[in-house]
Structure 1
């Protein structure tokens, strides 16, 4: 396995025009590959506005228009493409779903957001995905020639157990397409990412839509890549852009060896002997 590769996060300016969103995403993926990226990730709801009023209107079956597009772009660029997420419809139910395509254009993973974004902060924001969406129920990882990668979507990031499971499954990178808002984004977006990276001694990348102050839901932006040491090694502002960084898998192994914290390495602390 190659020990170093470039990861790119595409912070896309998402509009209400699905065709334009796909066209723009494709152009930015091509640009990221020209700049050396081997794995490229798009944001949550990259093909549509984010909001409960939009999910059913923009929902697609998988395969469908947006996933066909992702397959074609992955094949054209010979890159791994993490398709952020799209509203998915199956059997009359709606999901917030990420798909992943390999350099041959084959879909190799599909993750339905497990933890729906239901919050109520008086005077600031109230939002309930569960009014429209159903949660996923499966952990999602995929293999690359570089490492195993885990996938979560936005609110999934708040659940430390999910990241720990991915670490124990052998992941060295977790990618979270997400759209934190102007309240929780400033307070928690970077802090949570750094915590997940430090706790699990792996790389964490988050991919947000660019900020649109005229949208009904305003995203924080600030797509970020964090090292297993907790350093922010790439970070966007609020505008549309590509941010990328080298993922050095040797650094993961080095930190895990220097500071052993996994259950596997510290069985002495976790093996409880029951006395009669």
Structure 2
């Protein structure tokens, strides 16, 4: 399979876990009619707030959210990247993304490696590390259409992570994210175009819709960028499903035309996975 139909579910997340799960189910059901691979946003079952991460946290085994997504993947015979949820393990809390295969089995999980601790003067302050623990593993998954890499939101700002995933065979980089109304307009599209262009892969970001009633305002603008650094599809700020077909043969074509990865001076520098 070289052509892949993606569905980006930019859902409106509210302060009600059951309603968020219902919304995700509805959007997945609609998207499954046209797509091969469905992606949900970062914290799709939970408002983006430290206190809500604690309140909404679930364990991986037996958690209501993951059980529902697993059933949907199996019933619709489709891959689902379940954006992220607050994952409890012992006394720790992680921001974790799960990839389900067509049988509803978890084939990869990514714990956000770079926690969102920022202070943009007079605009926004947020410190995930107050409640979340950082993940320490690179996340790649084998699928029937090739290998993919997974990061979460702030992870996209670190080019070393993307390069390591690509060096290990990733053809598509997925970053469920929730940029805000300060960082989003400034950097969201630029970062996704840059990671795609730097590594000559497809790069996909899926965000919650803008909910002005929430304490944290997501920028939205779920996006797909191609190996040439172009935007193939981009949402606005409202709730919607974005469909986009990508052709993985484009990766080989672009890399032959502009052989960036071959032209690296490995005798002078190299990114090493530890």
| TM-score for the superposition, normalised by structure 1 | 0.95
Matches within 5 A, 1:48-127: 48-63=46-61, 64-127=63-126
Distance (whole Å) between structure 1 residues aligned to residue 203 and residue 31 of structure 2: 19
Given candidates 29, 37, 50, the residue that maps to 1:39 is 37
How many angstroms apart in 2 are the aligned matches of 1:10 and 1:46? 10
SS at match of 2:173: strand
Per the TM alignment, residue 17 of structure 1 is displaced from its structure 2 partner at its CA by 1.1
Q: Residue 34 of structure 1: SS of its match in structure 2?
A: coil
Distance 1:73 1:33 in 2: 9
Distance 1:217 1:127 in 2: 10
CA separation in 1, counterparts of 2:58 and 2:121? Answer: 33
Which residue, 264, 267, 270 being the options, matches 1:271?
Answer: 267
Alignment of 1:100-249 (within 5 A): 100-249=99-248
**Consecutive aligned runs of 4 or more in structure 1 exceeding 4 Å deviation:** none
- Uncovered stretches (5+) of structure 2, i.e. residues with no partner: 269-274
The alignment yields a C-alpha RMSD, in angstroms, of 0.9
- Cα distance in 2, alignment partners of residues 49 and 77 from structure 1: 27
Instruction: Give, in whole Å, the separation in 2 of the partners of 1:44 and 1:243.
Output: 16
Specify the structure having the higher radius of gyration (Cα): 1
Compute the TM-score of the two structures, normalised by the length of structure 2. 0.96
Corresponding residue for residue 272 of structure 2: none
Cα displacement (A) at 1:271: 2.5
Cα displacement string for residues 48-85 of structure 1 (whole angstroms, at most 9, x for unaligned residues): 11111111100000021111111001001110000000
Post-superposition shift, 1:270?
2.4
Aligned residues: 267
Show CA shifts across 1:137-191 (max 9, x none): 0011111111211000000000000110111011110110000000000000000
Structure 1: where are the runs of 5+ without partners? none
Secondary structure (helix, strand or coil) at the match of 1:171 reads coil
**How far 1:23 moved relative to its partner?**
1.1
Q: Find the aligned partners of 1:110 and 1:145 in 2 and give their Cα distance.
A: 17
Q: 1: CA distance between counterparts of 2:77 and 2:234?
A: 25
